[in-house]
Amino acid sequence: MPNFAGPNELSFCHESVVPSILGPKGLLKGPYYDTRNQEPTALDGIRDHAEHSIRRRPWNRAMSVSALKYYDGLLKSTIMELLAAFTQRQREEIDISDWMSFATIDFMGRMTFSTEFGMVRAGKDSIGLRQVIFKGSIDGAVISHIPWTLPFFKWIPAGGGKALQFMFNLGNDIARKRVESPTTQRDLYHYLIDDDGLEPEKPSTSVVTTDAMLSIVAGSDTSATALSHILYFLLQRPKCLQKLQAEIDETFPKGEDTVDFSKQAEMPYLNACINEALRLYPPVMMGLQRRVPLGIREKRLGNFIIPEGTQVSAHLFSLMRDPRYFNPIPDEFWPDRWLVRDTYTLPSGQAIPSSQVLITKGIFIPFSMGSQNCAGKNVAMMEMRAMLSGVIQKFDVAVAKEYRLSSYEEKIVDMYITHRGPLPVILTAR
C-alpha cells in the first residue's frame, strides 16, 4: 500500500509503479516543483515534454563521451590541487566532508564556465556559495510543500528571495566574464550557448546562465554528499577500505597516478563502493513528486489505480533499502552485493550462494530515470571515481580521535538535496 504523504499525495515503495511515475512515458512534475517557476525557468523546472527535450539537447551533447574527454584535464587539475592541499595538511584534523564540497564546486566552476572559484586553494568557501545553497534548500524544502504561498514568500525578509538573488547575481557575473573573454574551451557553457550552431534557434543568454547555474547547484553538492558518504562508509568498514586500496594499487601500480579515467570505470570494487553508498543514501533521498494529470479520471500506476490530480512519488531512499529488492542486509554497506560471484561472504563471515543475493537494477535509481533523469550522471560518476581513487591511493584515511563516527548518520537530513554534517579525519601520506 502507498503511504499518505500529504493531502492528495501518495508516496510509493513498490517496484511496479516506478516506471509509470518516472520512466520514459512517466508523469509530469507535480506542484512541489512550482518553486522552480522563475523567469527564465531552469531545465529542472520545465514541465512541458517538448520544451524540456529541446532544452535538454545541449546537456546531452555536453555529457557525451567525446565531451567528457575535455573535462578530463579539468578534473585532473582539480584533483592534483586537492591532493596537494591534503599533503600540506596531513596529520592535521580536517573535515573531509567540507573538502569534498570545495573540490566539487571548483570542478563544476571549471567544467561549466571555465571559471575559478579557488576553494581548494583557499581551503574554504571564499564566496559563501555553500551557505547559500544550504539556506536556499531549507526554504525550498518547506515552501515546496505549500507552493500556494509562493507569491508571498518573496516579501519575507529572510525568505528564499535572498538565495535566489545571490545565485542570479553570481551567475550573471560569471557569465558576463565568460562571454567577454571568449574561450575555445569546450566547457558546458559552450554547449548550452550552442557555439557549434546545431540548434535551429540560439538560446537567450539568460536561459543559458540559468542552466549553467543549475549545473553548479545540482552538480556540486550532490557529488560532494555522495563522496562524503562513501568515505564515511569506508571508515565504518575498514576491511572495505583496505580492499578498495588494494584494487587501486593493483590497477595503478607503483604509485602511478590514478589519472586514467577509463580504467576507473572498469574497477569492480571501486564502482561497487560507489553504487552501495548511492543505494543507502542517494543524495536526493525523497520521492520525486509527479502528478496524475487532470481530465483523465484515473491512471494505472503499476498495480494501483490512482485518481486524476493526485500527487505521487516513488521514494528513492525506501525503495533502495527494501529487502524485496536488495537482499540480504539491505540496510548495511556491503559493496560485494554488486560483484559477480558464485559464493559471497557476508561481513559476519558467513558464506552464501549467489542465489541468495538479490539486487534489483531497475530500481537502483539514485540519478532518477526517464527523460528528466540526472543530466550530469556521466560526469558525476567520472568525478566520484577519480576523486576517491586519488585520495585513497595517496593517503591512509583515519577517523579523527575525538570524533564519534556513528554521529555522521545522525546529521543526514533530507532537504530535497541532502544536508550532512562534518566528517573529521586525519590523512597520512602512504
Residues that bind ligand HEM in the complex, under the rule CB under 6 A: 43-44, 56, 214-215, 218-219, 222-223, 226, 282-284, 288, 366-368, 372, 374-376, 379-380
Report whether 374 belongs to an annotated binding site.
yes
Select from 261, 263, 252, 264 the least CA-distant residue to 73.
261
Shortest separation between residue 232's beta carbon and ligand HEM, angstroms = 15
CB 327 within 8 A of CB 320: no
Residue number with CB closer to ligand HEM (63 or 426): 63
Min. distance of Cβ 46 from ligand HEM in angstroms? 7
By C-beta, is 132 or 285 nearer to ligand HEM? 285
Closer residue to ligand HEM, CB minimum distance, 116 or 256: 116
Nearer to ligand HEM, 163 or 381 (CB): 381
Task: Determine how many CB atoms are found less than 10 A away from the CB of residue 5.
Answer: 18
CB of residue 381 to ligand HEM, shortest distance in Å:
8
Separation between Cα atoms, residue 39 and residue 18, nearest integer Å: 31
Q: 174-182, long-range: CB within 8 Å, 24+ apart, which pairs?
A: 174/109, 174/113, 174/115, 174/212, 175/113, 175/205, 175/208, 175/209, 175/212, 177/113, 177/115, 178/113, 178/114, 178/115, 179/205
* Shortest spacing between CB 11 and ligand HEM, in angstroms: 14
Cα Rg for the chain, rounded, in angstroms? 22
**Minimum CB–partner distance for residue 376 and ligand HEM (Å):** 2
Binding site: what residues are annotated?
374
Binding site for heme: what residues are annotated?
374
